[in-house]
Amino acid sequence: MGYFKPWRRKIGMITLVLACLSAAGWARSISVEDVFSFGGRQLRSHSGLIEEFVDTSIDLTDFFGQIRTTRVRVTYWRVPYWSIVVPLTLLSAYLLLSKPRVAKQTAEST
């Protein structure tokens, strides 16, 4: 039986690839800010974080009754890269390094 025959080895390789891609994104986000736009919302990768935000305008009335338009950035969520990389790495290590269970033979089959 080959090493990659069990389903857990295949899933372990997929999670390892995802962990490596996330680690590469983490390293890149330290020095480069990437912004991806889709459907009016934006996904930004910077300083070891991933965040979803939208820039919008709000009309505010000041003390003198004048209406002023202010640009506001609303952040919906923010996730540090390490919280993605570490669990994926641990899961892939478990799936790849754990030994498959040996099937027990019953008295009837011997």
DSSP line for 14-81? HHHHHHHHHHHHHHHHHH--EEEEETTEEEEEETTEEEEEEEEEEEEE-TTS-EEEEEEEEEEEEEET
- Taking only the tens place, the pLDDT of each residue in 26-60 is 999 999 999 999 887 899 999 999 999 888 888 88
Confidence of residue 108 (pLDDT cuts 50, 70, 90): low
Evaluate the CA torsion angle 36, 42, 46, 51 in order and state its sign: negative
Domains of the chain, by residue range, sit at: 7-97
Residue 76 has pLDDT above 70, yes or no: yes
Question: What pLDDT is stored for residue 34 in this prediction?
Answer: 93
Question: What pLDDT is stored for residue 81 in this prediction?
Answer: 96
- CB-side exposure of 10: number of CA atoms within 13 Å? 4
